[in-house]
Amino acid sequence: MRLPEFINTTTFRWTLTISAVFVAAATILVVFTYQESVQLNMERIQMTLVQEIQNTMANPETVMHRLEARLIEDPRRVRFAALFDPDRLPIAGNMTSWPINFEPDGKVWDITAERDDAQGREIQQAYAVGGVLSNGNIYVVGRSPDDYASWQQGVLALLPTALIPATLLALVCGMILSIRTQSRIDHIHRTANRIMAGHLNERLPSRGTTDDFDKLVDIINNMLDQIEHLMSEVKGVGDDIAHDLRTPLTRVRASLERGRDHAGSLDELRQAIDKGINGIDQALGVTTALLRIAAIEHGQRNSGFSEVNLGGIVAAIVELYEPAAEDKGVELKFKGLSNINLRGDRDLLFEAISNLVDNAIKFTPNGGTVSIELVRGAQGLMLRVTDTGPGIPVQEREAVFRRFYRTNKARNMPGSGLGLSLVAAISRLHGFRVHVADSREGCTIEMICSPTAA
Amino acid sequence: MAELSSHGFQVDWAATGSEGLARAGSGDYDVMTVDRMLPDVDGLTIVENIRNNGIKTPVLVVSALGEVDDRVRGLKTGGDDYLVKPFALVELSARLEALLRRPADPRETILRVGPLTLDLIERTAKRGTRELDMLPREFQLLEYLMRHTGQTVTRAMLFEEVWHYRFDPRTNLADVHIGRLRRKVDAAGETPMIQSIRGTGFLLRAPS
């Protein structure tokens, strides 16, 4: 037989546990109260008996009167009262004989006695107290706790009858709570299945409250947002890779095809093949750059860190690019600190900064200026590369560091769209921050080179 | 192999590390290339073994592992040069050639190629009797080219050996520098000594 599903829920099990604890607590409480009250009742009975004998001893002439008064109105047949002669033979009262193991010493005795009244004879357990009167007669009073015993049994019998409906109530509550929980989980489960099936834009249902479930749902939904964002990014990069590889490969193919079909001489064939090789080099360049970015981002290279002179690296870059800038009619200026030591990878820093300078020269028209500054500012050590080119629109300033992102102006320039991604990856590896700064004209890129904010 | 043969090399090849090691032991080779990823053993282990056996044949390590660490390890183990895949075949043959013809005597203080004289102590350069006025980097470039006379020198080799940076510029930086050097070395009317080799690099040759 299959158990209903809710039985397996945590809520239901919790309810069961709580019910069991509740029943146990109730039972302990009842049993304790019961025992205390039994004890109290017995003590009260015994005290009353002792009191009665003491009162009688004080006023012996009232004995017959007291005896009769005790026997009248005893519907439950629990009282004993009897007068015995000095030979312990009954003179009056409802006891047929002197009880075994009993002495009239004013103390409480536990006896077994036979009562004899209008309803017949009966042997009963009772507490009894006796006292010797001045004439030698003995007055005995007793009280059977039988009625209390039956009351006590009643209380005990009541316990389960009270607990069963309470337990049932708890079970029903548990069931309702569990089924509600179950339905929410089912709902979440169905949504999760849809998400897993590829509907990444779906979100788990939240009731907008602050209960545990909604909190959990919110956490998971935030996680889904992040995953969706990453997925779209990966997907975008995948598309870009495919596109950026396809373009040169298509050209390679066309060039080779043309060479095969139309080349009239060996030279023409060579030209076609050279074009093909160029295209393949471009495609290889894209994959190599991607792999390098990936490797740098995974931090595989920080073992190559050593003490390097950033000023020296910048100076070498200026020297390297100066002729190219001059040929293009662009002035390349460097000012600032020349002796800055920090921990880093010399080749990677060279590559990152040369990328910035290369870009700046590339986008600066004839007659413009590219200036490189290495300064200590409020944010710490900063490398600033400024050009007088077209600049980067504000809304694209973050995007340019994404892989394959190219601004409209850059689209017609040679390049892979990976240069700044590489710069960003190298900066991150070194704990630097790189961003496009506000500038009145041209483009300013700042690299804040203080891993531990100065 | 075909490419290397066409460059005038005589080539033997071994498919596995152990076979390569055995051949290297014969010591009959002028230069060797070893791939890092061999079916049975890391190429560097072979290089290490070769060096431990006292064989001094120059070794070019070829690998897809291009990170700085890999490079440094490759060179420390005893490799003489390290080339990262993918590479152009001309790059491979240019580097092999450079290894084959390591400068005979690095202590030489005056280099001569045809009419070109380079005094490493005075830091002066002359073509015939004409003094060449050169910037320090141009001097270093010319020195490197002169030490590798008649060999094709690739752009990557120039950056590694003259600038000492591992660097793959996307623009024609090396060409610009060589262009300036050329304007000084090869004046109008003189036979050009510095040639550009399409798609490969540069070559310094004495005028015949």
pLDDT tens per residue across span A174-184: 888 888 888 88
For A81-126, what is each residue's pLDDT tens digit? 999 999 999 998 888 889 988 888 888 999 988 888 888 888 888 9
A316 and B88: CB-CB below 8 Å? Answer: no
User: For residue B198, which residues of chain A lie inside 8 Å, CB to CB?
Assistant: 274
The pairing of strands A138-143 and A120-132 is antiparallel
- pLDDT for position A454: 37
Q: How far is A444 from chain B (nearest CA, A)?
A: 21
The percentage of chain A sitting over the pLDDT mark of 70, rounded to a whole number, equals: 95
Angle at A359 between CA A355 and CA A362, to 5 degrees: 140
Among chain B residues, the shortest Cα distance to A303 is held by B69
B14 DSSP β-pair partners: none
Considering only residues B208 and A316, tell me which one the structure prediction assigns the higher pLDDT. Answer: A316
Shortest Cα–Cα distance, A441 to chain B (Å): 25
Token readout for A266 is 């060996």
Contacts of A367 (CB under 8 A, 6+ apart): A329, A330
Q: Backbone phi, then psi, for B126, in 5-degree steps?
A: -135, 145
Report d(CA A133, CA A141) in Å as an integer.
Answer: 13
Mean per-residue pLDDT, B29-37: 85
Question: CB within 8 A of B186, min separation 6: which ones?
Answer: B192, B193, B194
∠ CA A109-A111-A115, nearest 5°, is: 130
For residue B166, the distance in angstroms to the closest alpha carbon of chain A comes to 6
Total count of residues recorded for chain B: 208
What are the two backbone dihedrals, phi and then psi, of residue A149, each rounded to the nearest 5 degrees?
-60, -45
DSSP string, B169-185: -SS-HHHHHHHHHHHHH
Cβ atoms A279, A306 nearer than 8 A: no
Higher pLDDT, A125 or A292: A125
The DSSP 8-state label assigned to residue A365 in this structure reads P
The letter for the amino acid at A416 is: S
Beta-carbon separation of B171 and A285 below 8 A: no
Asked if A354 lies within 8 A of B68 by C-beta distance, the reply is: no
Q: Do domains B2-100 and B110-204 have the same CATH topology?
A: no
- Note the pLDDT of residue A300: 57
Q: What is the pLDDT of residue A299?
A: 64
* CATH architecture for residues B2-100: 3-Layer(aba) Sandwich (3.40)
Q: 């409250």: which residue's tokens?
A: A209
The answer to whether the beta carbons of residues B102 and B151 sit under 8 Å apart is no
Using only C-alpha atoms, chain B has a radius of gyration, in whole angstroms, of: 19
Do A24 and A103 form a contact (C-beta atoms < 8 A)?
no
CA distance A296 to A424: 10
A212-297 topology per CATH: Helix Hairpins (1.10.287)
Mapped onto helix, strand or coil, the DSSP state of residue B145 is helix
Better pLDDT: A320 or A16: A320
φ, ψ dihedrals at B40, nearest 5°: -110, -25
User: For chain A, where do the domains classified as CATH 3.30.565.10 start and end?
Assistant: 303-448
CB-CB under 8 Å, A347 with B165: yes
Respond yes or no on whether the N-terminal peptide bond of residue B86 is cis (omega within 30° of 0).
Answer: yes
Chain A residues inside the 8 Å CB shell of B163: 316, 320
Is it true that the peptide bond before B106 is cis, omega within 30 degrees of 0?
Answer: no
| CATH number assigned to the domain with residue range A303-448, chosen from the 4 options 2.40.10.170, 3.40.1160.10, 3.30.565.10, 3.40.50.300 | 3.30.565.10
Which pLDDT belongs to residue A35? 85
Determine, for residues B137 and A347 on separate chains, whether the beta-carbon distance falls below 8 Å. Answer: no
A372-406 confidence digits (pLDDT tens): 999 887 778 889 999 998 888 888 888 888 777 77
pLDDT attached to residue A50: 92
d(CA B150, CA B155): 16
Q: Which of B119, B138, B140, B151 is nearest to B181 (CA)?
A: B138
Quick check: helix, strand or coil at residue A400?
A: helix
Q: Answer whether B165's CB lies under 8 Å from A316's CB.
A: yes
Dmax (CA) for chain A in angstroms is 161
Contact flag B170-A419 (C-beta cutoff 8 Å):
yes
Q: Boundaries of CATH 1.10.287.130 in chain A?
A: 212-297
Cα-based angle B174, A314, A298 (whole degrees, multiple of 5): 90
| Domain B110-204 coded CATH 1.10.10.10 | yes
- Is A303 near chain B, with CB under 8 Å? yes
The two beta strands, B81-84 and B59-63, are parallel
What ipTM did this prediction achieve?
0.78
What was the pLDDT predicted at B170? 62
Banded model confidence at residue A453, pLDDT cuts 50, 70, 90: very low
